C-alpha cells in the first residue's frame, strides 16, 4: 500500500514539474491555477492530460506494480472517451460481462 501512495505522490509532483515549464516556455503563458489567466489554466489541463497517465505507468513499473497502474491508467483515460480496447489488449473484443470481471480483478489489488 505504501508503494501505491509513493507512486501517486511522485507522479503528481513530477507532472507539475513538467507541465509548468512546458506551458510557460513553449506556449508562452504565465500564471497559476489559482490566479489565472484562464488560458493558462486550460493549457495546463490539456498538457497534463497525456503526461499524467504516462508518468503513472512509468513510476508504477519502477515500483513493480505495472499491471495495477496499467489498469488504473486505462480506466482514467477511458473516462475521457478513449475506448479501453485501444488502450489495453486485455479489453479488445471482450463482452461487457468480461470487462466487468476484469474490473473486479483490478479492484482486488
Domain termination site, one of 43, 64, 85: 64
pLDDT tens sequence across 54-91: 899 899 889 888 888 888 888 888 887 777 766 666 66
Q: Are residues 60 and 75 in the same domain?
A: no
Q: Are residues 73 and 60 in the same domain?
A: no
User: CA-CA distance, 19 to 77, in Å (whole number)?
Assistant: 18
pLDDT at 9 over 90: yes
Q: Are residues 17 and 59 in the same domain?
A: yes
Residues of the domain holding 103: 67-109
Q: Specify the pLDDT at position 13.
A: 92
Count of CB atoms situated within 10 Å of the CB of 12 = 14
Contact between residue 39 and residue 30 where contact means Cβ atoms under 8 Å apart: no
Q: Are residues 108 and 71 in the same domain?
A: yes
User: Which residues contact residue 107 at a Cβ distance below 8 angstroms, ignoring those fewer than 6 apart?
Assistant: none
Amino acid at each position: 500500500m505504501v508503494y501505491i501512495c509513493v507512486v501517486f505522490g511522485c507522479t503528481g509532483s513530477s507532472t507539475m514539474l513538467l507541465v509548468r515549464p512546458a506551458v510557460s516556455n513553449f506556449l508562452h503563458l504565465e500564471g497559476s491555477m489559482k490566479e489565472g489567466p484562464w488560458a493558462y489554466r486550460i493549457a495546463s489541463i490539456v498538457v497534463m492530460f497525456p503526461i499524467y497517465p504516462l508518468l503513472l505507468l512509468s513510476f508504477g513499473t519502477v515500483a513493480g506494480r505495472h499491471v495495477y497502474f496499467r489498469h488504473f491508467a486505462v480506466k482514467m483515460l477511458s473516462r475521457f472517451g478513449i475506448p479501453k480496447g485501444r488502450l489495453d489488449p486485455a479489453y479488445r473484443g471482450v463482452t461487457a460481462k468480461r470487462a466487468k470481471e476484469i474490473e473486479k480483478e483490478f479492484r482486488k489489488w
